[in-house]
Structure 1
Amino acid sequence: MFLVHLRSALGFISGVGVGDANDIICLEGERQALLEFKKGFIDDNGMLSSWGSEDENKNCCNWKGVNCRQTSHVLELHLGAYQNNRVQRLQGMITPSLLALTHLTLLDLSGNNFNQSHIPEFIGSLINLKYLDLSYADFGGPIPLQLGNLLHLQNLNLEGNNLTIIENLKWLSRLSLIKDLDLSFTNLSVANDWLEVVSGLPHLTTLTLWYCNLPPMSLSSLPPFNYSKSFTSLESLYLGGNQFDTIPKSFGNICTFRELDLSSNNLNGQLFELINNLSAGCARDSLEVLDLSWNQITGSLHNLAIFPSLKEINLHHNNINGTVPKTIRNLFNLEVLSFSSNFLHGVISEVHFSNLSKLRYLHLSNNSFTFEFSFNWVPPFQLEAIFLGSCMLGPRFPNWIQTQRNISNLDISYAKISDTIPMWFVDLAPTLRVIDFCSNHIDGWLPDLSTKCLYLEKINLSANLLEGPLPLLPTNLSILNLSENRFSGSISSICKINGGLLKHLDLSNNLLSGQLPNCFMHWPSLVILNLAGNNFYGEVPSSLGLLSQLKTLSLSNNSFSGNLPLSLKNCSLLTFINFENNRFFGKVPTWIGEDLPQLIILILRSNKFYGSIPLNLCWLKYLRILDLSINDISGSIPQCIDNFTAMAQKGNSSTDIISSDYSYSSGENFIIGEAYVDSARIVWKGREDMYSKSLGLVKIINLSSNKLTGKLPSQILSLLQLVGLDVSKNNLIGEIPQMIGRLKNLETLNLSSNQFSGEIPSSMSELTFLNHLDLSDNHLSGKIPSSTQLQSLDASCFAGNPGLCGPPLSQKCWSGEQTPNQSEASEEYGDEFWKWFYATTGFGFVVGFLGVCGSLLLKDSW
């Protein structure tokens, strides 16, 4: 909705130039002023290309964006960046030559780039201005007080900049003719006088103050106003994105009120009380739009039919519970009904909609509704958008949907539908742009959508039971998600999606097979590519490297082979790579570290990579997961490992979710933002689990099951936020770093099946979060450090180290210097010695005795 508003702001006035301007010659002084004005801009898109000194361009009234309106004076400058469905952005500064246009009544510079410069004070000297639009033009700093000199101003739009006010808004009080005022995204946190000022503007019709940091009590703490006398013309009040916690009861006395937007504030308490504040006065009869979405409103749904003129009611994303009263049917003028993402429940029947013939948008997703309609029910309305995700619509496919001939967006995801897609579906309205049937039990084959659903932009049929080959699909798709189904065969048919608009392609976890077609050049805007969990084989085509916008690439769990294509180095925006469980071979490419600076996740697990770990990987300062396990990698672990600064620094909640954001156009007036949350199976805590939203919290290095040699570098101790380290099943030697206890966030540590020696560092007792430790099968010796954490582990964690002693092992340590093995060895040695001593002594006695006796017997005298 923000982008919709942006588009309307940028294109507020689309008509430029005049019809019979050839008969009008502009004044030379004004022409020269415009040429000087042009010098302040960088015009890469040629917006001002018609502004010239040549004879054919001498008449400035014919220049693009200039309007003289049957006079020789320049009256209007339409230089907004968005015009005629094109974006032509100027960059630069506004020069004072503009002051020569003394008759200027309209100045539109919206959407251009002024690089955080201040709004020039001299604009306040253009005293004949009636319309000033500087929205989304990248201005910064304070709003100049001189704008208060524009006494004829009727429309002022400063939305979408980085503006502040110095002290208050008193300069606004001089603009007595103002009708439309938009200061959205301006920091008004110190403007305690805002309500007093705007209520004194007698002609004010529309006031928009979205996301202005208005304080929570500003509506209720100010002295009471007689709103019915102050706001004599106010029709639309947009105050979304602030900190308001209540609706003043006096608002109900504004008899001209038609629209009230208090979305994304801190409204709380019972819905009944908030509604009462509006319904107590004459606003009850005039109110047409009420938006209280994205708040913390509680209680049950009020009888909204007390507002007889209501056209739009938006209560989505609150904490409202209970059922929907049947009195909703008495809102005869209702066009938009949005209760999504609350705690509502109960049955929705035909009775609720019996009188809603004007309804166009129905949003009831993410509640616990059960829909009970007769199979042949024909609704009284024609909907343009249906959002019923997580509502109980099944088990049959809703038959009433086929009656909707204007539908653009259709979301019936998580709706417990166990049925095939009906034949009539492909004959739905040609206006259909978005379908989302994910997470149902829809089976059968997907019909051919390429001929009758030409304008489809998003298809999400993931997590169903669909099977068979991929059908032909519309050429202009932006999003295609067919993951977690049973599709089989080749994917060559997707090459028909060649409109250049595809941004999201997810065919993961199917039964698809064959080699990848070399048609990635058709998708220059692709951001998401997920082909994991299929039966693809062969080499990855080099055209994959043409995807310069790619952020997520997952080819895991297939049978791909060969080297990674060098062309992938061109995908410099990649943040997520998962090539796990394939047959890729060769050395780990150095270009991964050199050319993919944004990389956050790198998983090359279970392939056939060999050679050493390239030092260039240390350049990946945003890396959070590095998994090179189960390969044939040799050499030592790079000492530059401490350059993984994302593993050293504590993150924040805004970066915990690893996602790839993008947007796409849905219909003529909508730009939809999407965020694809990356997911991966991570080996951690001794098991393999799928992580998605928590993936960004997992900071892991896994180098296990390779042929690494040398010592574990002490630089790893700099990675203070590391939660998992696995270097097991290698040939590492030396001692465990003495200060291993610095890694206080470690939850899993696996050093097993190496040749580590020496004692276990005493600092390991400081790893209080450690719940999975494996030091088995090394050459460690000495006493296991004492700590609740270490002694609670199973003895198998230390097995295969004959020199270790102490709990949880059964071998006891001597109080002296000797280890139990040394003492046992001494005892064994002692026992053996005495056995040997007695045996040899006895043997010697016998031999000696026999020798003596023999010698005696040999003497003749004996």
Structure 2
Amino acid sequence: MQMEVHGRAAAGGPANGVLDFSRLSLNNFNVDSVSEERKRDARQLYLNYNQLTSLPASACIFSNLEFLDISNNSALSVICEDITRLGKLKTLLAKNNRLDEFSLPKEFGSMQLEVLNFSGNRFEEIPLQCTKLRRLQSLSLGGNRLKSIPAEIENLTSLELLYLGGNLITAIPPELANLPYLSYLVLCDNRIQSVPPQLTRLHSMRSLSLHNNLLTYLPREILSLVHLHELSLRGNPLVVRFVKDMTYDPPSLLELAGRTIKSRNIPYFPHELPSNLLHYLDLASKCPNPKCAGVYFDSCVRHIKFVDFCGKYRLPLMHYLCSPECTSPCNSNPQSDADSEDELSVPADRLQRVLLG
């Protein structure tokens, strides 16, 4: 079925560059009825609230488009290859359709998009084509079926806003910390259990939404986010029940021997040890405390510190050390966490909003 172009054009006529064919409830449209002047001048095209099953190739005739809205087409499952011809397109809104990771053309990543919204679709993975959009500043994939965030997300070096709320994500990849301009990160309503300490490198971060996840603690490094003004944590176990299990299992004799060999650089040769011990020695991990030169294998101390935020809330921050003698990485003097209880209070001009309830 063809759609005659009798849809309502935005007020002001073609001069304002807006073509509005929304809410026509038809399957395609015929660009032959559009004047050449309007094809040339059109900057915005609205095809939302129709019954499109795919983005029609004829929509790509408008070569100067900068904004395209194909949202709320309940049957839309494919975006045609021709969209890559829209070399000036900066904003693509495709919310509430039936798109998934197989719906995009192979060369989608070559486009010059700055804003992309795929919220309310059926994506189970973030398409790798999306991670090639080097000019992308805003990416929204909320309300999909995502289970993970690919490491390739670090390629979006212009990204300022990432919205992934309402998915099935269980972990935050450390590669996310390689986005220098990321200011707004929304990961609410997922299944995330921990926040990687690498996020401390997100120096531009202003708002972090983590409500309704499975967090039981925060990494103490989060205090380094000096521009963070809003932190949303309601609906997490760390709010409704603080973590108090700090049981420490002492290292085995095998681990103590391994620690001694690695920490003191005692020389050994492959022919002197069984293969299983050689493999075990290769598994040594350096203590995360920068003031400690030790190593550990299986037994690592978990410390939890309750820190004041905004002088009102106390949140558990966690770090791992190789032994109880290790000094807290955030302290300048060797002393216990209990002795430094107030050292990590957040200044009043930091974190204007901590949303716990």
Asked whether the two chains share a fold, i.e. TM above 0.5, the reply is yes
Contact 2:43 / 2:65 at 8 angstroms: preserved in 1? yes
Unaligned runs of 5+ in 1: 1-34, 42-47, 52-62, 70-74, 81-88, 332-336, 340-351, 366-862
User: Which of the residues 65, 74, 81 maps onto 1:145?
Assistant: 81
Offset at 1:291?
1.4
**TM-score, structure 2 as length reference:** 0.61
- Tell me the residue number matched to 1:123: 59
- Tell me the residue number matched to 1:668: none
SS in 2 for 1:260: strand
User: Is residue 257 from structure 1 mapped to residue 182 from structure 2 by the alignment?
Assistant: yes
- Tell me the residue number matched to 1:286: 204
User: Which of the residues 234, 254, 262 maps onto 1:316?
Assistant: 234
Offset at 1:212?
2.8
- Tell me the residue number matched to 1:170: 106
Classify 1:188/1:115 alpha carbon distance in 2 versus 1 (closer, same or farther; 3 Å). same
1:554-602 CA distances to partner (integer Å, 9 max, x unpaired)?
xxxxxxxxxxxxxxxxxxxxxxxxxxxxxxxxxxxxxxxxxxxxxxxxx
User: Is residue 197 from structure 1 mapped to residue 125 from structure 2 by the alignment?
Assistant: no
Paired with 1:141 and 1:185, the residues of 2 have a C-alpha distance of 12
Offset at 1:265?
2.1
Classify 1:354/1:226 alpha carbon distance in 2 versus 1 (closer, same or farther; 3 Å). closer
For residues 567-578 of structure 1, the aligned pairs below 5 Å read none
- Tell me the residue number matched to 1:187: 122
Classify 1:246/1:169 alpha carbon distance in 2 versus 1 (closer, same or farther; 3 Å). farther
SS in 2 for 1:140: coil
For residues 648-727 of structure 1, the aligned pairs below 5 Å read none
Classify 1:257/1:115 alpha carbon distance in 2 versus 1 (closer, same or farther; 3 Å). same
Offset at 1:278?
0.8
Offset at 1:256?
1.0
Contact 1:300 / 1:322 at 8 angstroms: preserved in 2? no
Paired with 1:146 and 1:264, the residues of 2 have a C-alpha distance of 35
RMSD: 3.5
Amino acid at match of 2:189: S
For residues 335-374 of structure 1, the aligned pairs below 5 Å read 355=348, 359=352, 363-365=355-357
Paired with 2:233 and 2:177, the residues of 1 have a C-alpha distance of 19
User: Is residue 105 from structure 1 mapped to residue 43 from structure 2 by the alignment?
Assistant: yes
User: Which of the residues 303, 306, 309 maps onto 2:224?
Assistant: 306
Q: Of Structure 1 and Structure 2, which has the larger fraction of its residues in strand?
A: 1
Contact 1:65 / 1:78 at 8 angstroms: preserved in 2? no
Offset at 1:120?
1.9
1:173-207 CA distances to partner (integer Å, 9 max, x unpaired)?
121x2100111122233x57x2x423322211111
Contact 1:143 / 1:165 at 8 angstroms: preserved in 2? no
Classify 1:211/1:357 alpha carbon distance in 2 versus 1 (closer, same or farther; 3 Å). closer
Offset at 1:244?
2.2
Classify 1:240/1:327 alpha carbon distance in 2 versus 1 (closer, same or farther; 3 Å). same
Unaligned runs of 5+ in 2: 244-304, 316-344
Amino acid at match of 1:288: R
Classify 1:124/1:93 alpha carbon distance in 2 versus 1 (closer, same or farther; 3 Å). same
Offset at 1:290?
1.0
User: Is residue 219 from structure 1 mapped to residue 187 from structure 2 by the alignment?
Assistant: no
Contact 1:236 / 1:260 at 8 angstroms: preserved in 2? yes
1:713-734 CA distances to partner (integer Å, 9 max, x unpaired)?
xxxxxxxxxxxxxxxxxxxxxx
Contact 1:172 / 1:197 at 8 angstroms: preserved in 2? yes
For residues 734-749 of structure 1, the aligned pairs below 5 Å read none
Classify 1:363/1:226 alpha carbon distance in 2 versus 1 (closer, same or farther; 3 Å). closer
For residues 618-633 of structure 1, the aligned pairs below 5 Å read none
Offset at 1:165?
5.1
Paired with 2:351 and 2:174, the residues of 1 have a C-alpha distance of 30
Classify 1:202/1:134 alpha carbon distance in 2 versus 1 (closer, same or farther; 3 Å). same
- Tell me the residue number matched to 1:32: none
SS in 2 for 1:163: coil
Amino acid at match of 2:140: T
User: Is residue 328 from structure 1 mapped to residue 328 from structure 2 by the alignment?
Assistant: no
- Tell me the residue number matched to 1:247: 172
Percent identical among aligned pairs is 21
Classify 1:201/1:238 alpha carbon distance in 2 versus 1 (closer, same or farther; 3 Å). same
Paired with 2:12 and 2:234, the residues of 1 have a C-alpha distance of 41
- Tell me the residue number matched to 1:276: 197
Offset at 1:169?
5.1
Classify 1:199/1:300 alpha carbon distance in 2 versus 1 (closer, same or farther; 3 Å). closer
Offset at 1:137?
4.3
Contact 1:240 / 1:262 at 8 angstroms: preserved in 2? yes
Paired with 1:109 and 1:79, the residues of 2 have a C-alpha distance of 5
**TM-score, structure 1 as length reference:** 0.27
Paired with 1:116 and 1:77, the residues of 2 have a C-alpha distance of 17
Paired with 1:117 and 1:317, the residues of 2 have a C-alpha distance of 38
SS in 2 for 1:170: coil
Paired with 2:25 and 2:12, the residues of 1 have a C-alpha distance of 16
Paired with 1:68 and 1:330, the residues of 2 have a C-alpha distance of 55
Contact 2:131 / 2:153 at 8 angstroms: preserved in 1? no
Classify 1:353/1:78 alpha carbon distance in 2 versus 1 (closer, same or farther; 3 Å). farther
For residues 447-526 of structure 1, the aligned pairs below 5 Å read none
